[in-house]
Amino acid sequence: MELYADILLPLALRGTLTYRLPEEMHPQAKPGIRAMVPLGKNKVLAGIIWEIHSRTPEREVRSVISLADTEPILEKRQFGLWEWMANYYLCSPGEVMKAALPAFLKEDKRKRPRAPHQSGQEDHANIKLAPLSDTQAEIFEKLRKHPGNKVSLLHGITSSGKTEIYIHLIADQLAQNKQVLYLLPEIAITTQIISRLERVFGNRLLVYHSKFTQVKRLSVWNRVLAGQENGGQLILGVRSSVFLPFSNLSLIIVDEEHEHSYKQQDPAPRYHARDVAIVMGQIHKSQVILGTATPSLETYHQAHTGKYELLELNERFGGIQMPEMILADARDARKRKKMQGPFTPELLHALDETLINGEQAILFQNRRGYSPYIECQECRWIPRCPSCDVSLTYHRTGSRLECHYCGHTQRVPSSCPNCHSTGLTMRGQGTERIEDDLQIIFPNARLARLDLDSTRSVSAYSKILADFEKGDIDILIGTQMISKGLDFSKVNLVGILDADQLLNYPDFRSLERSYQMITQVSGRAGRRAKQGLVVIQCSDPSHPVLQQVINNNLAQYYRTELTERQQFGYPPYTRLIRINLKHPDAATAAQAAQDLSIQLRKLLPGQVMGPHPPLVGRIQGKYIQTLLIKLERNQELILKKNRLASLIQTFEERKQYGSLVIQADVDPL
């Protein structure tokens, strides 16, 4: 009997391509096995067999060249997850496949490294768990008894002991030889948590993220695929871990669920790992726990309307006090000429006390580089990126100007190319400049920076944290990387240098992000016996969000924000889809966006905003136009999204716009 295979290729195609399956391959061929197939004149690609059938194709088809596996490299439930992601995020299954598979599994080779077999029963006889408090134990018991396919929000203030509850739940599942997925928003956080989990779970812990070599990632893939052969497994990873081939998954923990790093920006699929994890819970009938001190508006709303279970930890573990928080008025200090560089008198005094007492401090400035930009004092010329509509950031290391969007770098000019003046001045402060200013004020203090420039490798990041933990660093200056789940016993001061920068960003989520960021950074202070201090420098101490932060009034903040979101039709009351159109010619991009908006308004009357250029209207030489679609949360949502996907596909296939690129971003941040 003639058999055919529908093959999924790692390309942006609408679906699968059909190939004839030679008779000699019939016994070996199964869904989930890689097949080498021809494409075009002389190209050979590795695809995945999606379905085997005897339906005769309507047109002539080519034959599969060879099979690359003896057993499937996917677990059958991944098929359903990939299809859901493609439909929900308005992309192709091939783009999901490209994102999901380690590089070795996408190459046109038959041989690939295999993971050594390791029994899950080694080194695990004496798992020692720390005792839980009464409140922790109560929450643990509730979660332990839950059936699968349930979502819970574990809302615990900073340092309340959420991780210890996770560890007890993980131990319970591993004892039943189950798989557990522990998601973290980015690699930065993994350093501390890995050592903590290894002490308890030994070699049952598998770590998976993009900084690993391809051989190591493939090794983890194969061990997860083996599943029950290796006994219980704990997989700790970042967002790409949702693609691993789980066969016995019973618990998913999404730690710091509010973090925006869970959202993939480019390329497609532009998925949110938290939302994918919830769908995985439904597919695997697994329990899902969303943990955070500052829930996202969407998660908070779901918990308070009964869709998710709400569990709360309102006290720090061991009765430790929340830090004292003060607002330092930077505008007033500037008027009175009391500022010393970027520092208010309150922050300088607190730093001085911290150093005298032999304690540590963390300073948060959400700008890397030395200075956000340089400017000519005579003609106000500012160096800009040749490919993006942004100014170049000055980095003192290497005396260079860098674009933080496309990576373009150039030397700092000795004079202004516009008026030839030599009066080029630095404006604003990045983390590099904060470090320099601090070293002048406190020459004996040991300083370090934690930002993208100082942590190009995981080892660099680990060394900075290890040195800080040992007490070899007195003051750690960092970007948002320092806000994420770090725990240091000697940190009793946190300084936030520019709260206004967070609050005044032109985006409907800016207040939510500000509240989360300030609260999370503040939570690094005083995590042991002594009450910590947080100094927040700002120009408007009366700002409602700042008042809600220092009064720890989360409920009031959420009520206010949800009321505004409902009034103006933003999530969680609607679904947003952002459509970006990109083209090397500005006029073509604008015309294409205008034409598409007309068609979209016919399809979705009253639900389309724009087009307009975004805040940064050109990136990497391409001009951008944006359309925003607001969809109501109802049963017609799926139907509307399907029609939308079809319209975009048809529009993109038109030849009149040349190299036009259209990108759909569902649930954009």
Q: 209-247, pLDDT tens digit by residue? A: 877 888 889 999 999 998 866 678 999 999 999 999 999
Whether residues 242 and 281 fall in one domain: yes
Whether residues 159 and 307 fall in one domain: yes
- The mean of the pLDDT values for the chain is 89
* Strands (DSSP E) found in 130-248: 151-156, 179-183, 205-208, 233-237
Closest by CA to 490, choosing from 512, 506, 474, is 474
Tell me what the mean pLDDT of segment 544-561 comes to: 91
What CATH number does residue 603 fall under?
3.30.70.600
pTM for this model (two decimals): 0.92
CA angle 353, 355, 361 (to 5 degrees): 95
650 lies in some domain: yes
Q: If DSSP codes are grouped into helix, strand and coil, which group holds residue 123?
A: coil
Q: What percent of the chain has pLDDT over 90?
A: 62
Whether residues 186 and 279 fall in one domain: yes
Helix H or strand E segment including 556: helix 554-568
| Per-residue model confidence (pLDDT) at position 120 | 40
Per-residue b or e along 283-313, where b marks 16 or more CB atoms closer than 10 Å to that residue's CB: bbebbbbbbbbbbbbbbbbbbeeeebeebeb
C-alpha 71 chain-centroid distance: 33
CA distances to 464, 502, 507, 521 from 568, in Å: 44, 21, 13, 30
Are the CB atoms for 617 and 624 separated by under 8 Å? yes
| Per-residue model confidence (pLDDT) at position 117 | 44
What gap in Å lies between CA 590 and CA 583, rounded to an integer?
A: 9
CA distances to 129, 237, 417, 596 from 586, in Å: 60, 40, 26, 15
The set of residues, in sequence order, having a beta carbon less than 8 Å from that of 279 and lying 6+ positions away, is 81, 84
Q: What DSSP line would sit under 591-648, residue for residue?
A: HHHHHHHHHHHHHSTT-EEEEE--SS-EETTEEEEEEEEEEESSTTHHHHHHHHHHHH
Whether residues 507 and 582 fall in one domain: no
The set of residues, in sequence order, having a beta carbon less than 8 Å from that of 335 and lying 6+ positions away, is none
Whether residues 517 and 587 fall in one domain: no
What gap in Å lies between CA 425 and CA 394, rounded to an integer?
A: 11
405 lies in some domain: no
pLDDT tens figures, 603-634: 889 999 999 999 899 999 999 999 999 998 87
Q: How many domains does the chain have?
A: 4
pLDDT tens figures, 15-46: 899 999 999 999 999 999 999 999 988 899 99
What CATH number does residue 314 fall under?
3.40.50.300
Tell me what the mean pLDDT of segment 473-486 comes to: 82
| Per-residue model confidence (pLDDT) at position 507 | 85
| Per-residue model confidence (pLDDT) at position 122 | 45
Residue 12, both tokens: 């942006």
Whether residues 41 and 190 fall in one domain: no
Helix-strand-coil percent breakdown of the chain, rounded to 5? 35, 25, 40
The range of the structural domain enclosing residue 9 comes to 3-106
What CATH number does residue 85 fall under?
3.40.1440.60
Are the CB atoms for 250 and 288 separated by under 8 Å? no
Whether residues 365 and 309 fall in one domain: no
| Per-residue model confidence (pLDDT) at position 118 | 46
Whether residues 165 and 198 fall in one domain: yes
Whether residues 353 and 446 fall in one domain: yes
378 lies in some domain: no
528 lies in some domain: yes
Tell me what the mean pLDDT of segment 460-474 comes to: 87
